[in-house]
Chain A
């Protein structure tokens, strides 16, 4: 051993060279070009006078980092919407999960004098002052998904309905299990400290209470595949018999499904959340425990862009009678099942 140890430097060099060489080889064959870019989020616009090209408006868009399928879907849909309008000049700030960076981005928009700002804040309360500053500078702000703490900080607000998601999921489970008062219902939540998770869970519990059910087992994951798998694996041990399972998020749902198939369990049905294309394909396949999912629209920011354009051009929403764009729009959270999955799958985001 000691004899061979004496001249290992050469060995290190050759090993390194081999590693690097193999690395180059691997690099060459690990490209990742998807066969089909499935961003079917393009706006299905209703033809109206609003769609006619008006004066060009510059819209600043800032959102958190797209480190999650839903958030990536948000940005893609927003850009697709902007491209669908010739008169929209979209300035996209690099997605960030750092509040101070996002504040700086909005300040840059103000300095550039954009015509409108669409803002999906990482933290609604933290971005409120700078949004207020933009409003005071005469730039309308459209607030998406996470609400500001002051109503004066945004001209219009578009929200997904987190409470409604829970209600939709709970109502669906009630429709399936309402006649079994001792049915076991489990819940896999997202990040527990977020208000949106609390809203979803509250809606879920409220809807279940309506038909005499309650949540027997509840675990929280972190919206990632890995955390979903871990939470689900433990949950399945905690509850040997389940009748229905609601998982808040389809991204973590991939992990949840992996854990379920690993445990060989199929005595229950599962309801997803958010509405990823992947989940919808599972629903379509018909042989998965995932039988439904509740949509949390990933097209919110695209709606925000559309509204910002109308506001900046001084138009109203053509289908409404009132003169101005509404102050707040809460989007619906429909349940997707095997029956209506075809209708929604095209606008779903890829996780």
Chain B
């Protein structure tokens, strides 16, 4: 996916045909091309965690129920992280995700909404949650893009305001979801796979396609890499920024629905510190905090690592404080591993690739791994906007 992250804009278009076959570790521009190095660190970390889990808690860790529990717990924060990935790649940050999850969950479980849901269908609650998330995201985006307020500040303000509004609406109470249809649908499973996990998978796949296979995704990379260059290349940067935050808001709405299903409640305390969990997952997933580069697969792996960590610690009856320490250590180790592996990979591959592909795009895709996306190639990216 690094291929798609930095270089796709340029390489994904006309050059794609020529470079793809020569990629050493790639099966074309698919999931595994390029990212191998960068995501390898994450895979290693996840495998190590799983090995530790199955050694220390044999029988209980490698259990289908346990695996499904991990996936189910990862689902909610995972969906939020997908939205966050887009925002961060686009050069922004969204600190309001946790508060938006809380606000959406509260709004979708008010007595009036639930009464409406009883009369029509529980889909009303889903619709309300997603809509609330989208509108709040729209406000974020407009304030940032057109109000010219730094994303950090604007979403910090939304963090405070949205949670406050959630408290006002909920009257600081926990609102119980009493709609049996809603609970049955989301607590159910398809062929043994919980609905929540399926939703997570769908969102992740949709996010991957949107990021790597559409102009929207390419523009996201361009805007995050160099906004000015993107503007000069004809991308409506402000409008695009708005859409990124709307997207993040929508994922928060979806996450709120999932959280309502998981806990059977809507509450203003939902999603506490999600912003940090999501940013941590996105960053260890290899996304640059300054924007311009990132992958969905990395983010998903990042989320899985943290959730598995919590599970392994609980299975071994260890305290949550030790878990917090391990979490910090993992963030550092994962990022270090990534830099080493990706850096080494790039150095090894670069000459051959250059010679073979002979295109500047190829060089950028390999070489920028550790250095961070050089902004210089962005205008080119945008100009040669591929027709996908």
Contacts and interface: CB of A to CB of B under 8 A. Distances in A.
A19 B269 contact: no
B387 A2 contact: yes
Q: Which one of B113, B131, B265 has the greatest number of beta carbons of chain A within 10 Å?
A: B265
Contacts of A12: 239, 242
Contacts of B388: 1
A163 B311 CA distance: 29
B315 A30 contact: no
A31 interface: yes
A226 B128 contact: no
A224 B272 contact: yes
A192 B112 contact: no
A319 B363 CA distance: 87
A220 B319 contact: yes
A335 interface: no
B325 to A, nearest CB: 13
Contacts of B269: 67-68, 223-226
Interface string B46-68: 00000000000100100101100
Contact of A254 (B128, B263, B319): B263
Contacts of A29: 112-113, 116
Contacts of A35: 111
Interface in A1-45: 1-2, 5, 8-9, 12, 16, 19-20, 22-23, 26, 29-35
A179 to B, nearest CB: 25
B265 A255 contact: yes
Interface string B306-324: 0000110011110111000
A116 to B, nearest CB: 26
A133 B172 CA distance: 32
A237 B236 CA distance: 50
B36 interface: no
Looking at chain B's contact residues, the main secondary structure is helix
B272 A222 contact: yes
A127 B371 CA distance: 49
Q: Which of A9, A33, A216, A234 has the most CB of B within 10 A?
A: A234
Given A23-B135, A192-B319, A254 B111 contact: no
A22 B83 CA distance: 22
A237 B63 contact: yes
A170 to B, nearest CB: 18
A104 to B, nearest CB: 19
A278 B57 contact: no
A234 B173 contact: no
Contacts of B262: 226, 229, 255, 258-259, 262
B264 A254 contact: yes
A231 interface: yes
A193 interface: yes
A240 interface: yes
B187 A217 contact: no
Contacts of A278: 174, 176
B69 A67 contact: no
A237 B321 contact: no
Given A68-B269, A229-B263, A235-B314, A26 B132 contact: yes
B267 A226 contact: yes
Contact of B314 (A1, A33, A231, A240): A231
Contact of A32 (B169, B264, B321): B169
Given A222-B272, A225-B270, A351 B174 contact: yes
A318 B172 CA distance: 36
Contacts of B135: 19-20, 23
B289 interface: no
A237 B131 contact: no
A26 B174 contact: no
B72 interface: yes
B172 A237 contact: no
Interface string B352-375: 000000000000000000000000
A225 B385 CA distance: 47
Contacts of B131: 19, 22-23, 26
B107 interface: yes
B382 interface: no
A278 B176 CA distance: 10
Interface centre among A8, A26, A71, A255 (most CB of B within 10 A): A26
Contacts of A257: 264
Interface in A218-270: 218-220, 222-231, 233-238, 240, 251, 254-255, 257-259, 262-263
Contact of A240 (B60, B132, B138, B310): B60
16 contacts: A1-B215, A8-B236, A19-B135, A26-B132, A30-B113, A32-B110, A32-B170, A217-B317, A219-B320, A224-B269, A230-B73, A237-B311, A254-B264, A255-B265, A258-B264, A278-B174
Please provide the 7 A-B residue pairs with the shortest distance between their CB atoms, ordered closest to farther.
A234-B314, A32-B110, A224-B269, A220-B320, A258-B264, A238-B315, A237-B66
Given A68-B269, A226-B262, A235-B314, 6 more contacts: A16-B138, A32-B170, A34-B111, A34-B171, A66-B172, A234-B69
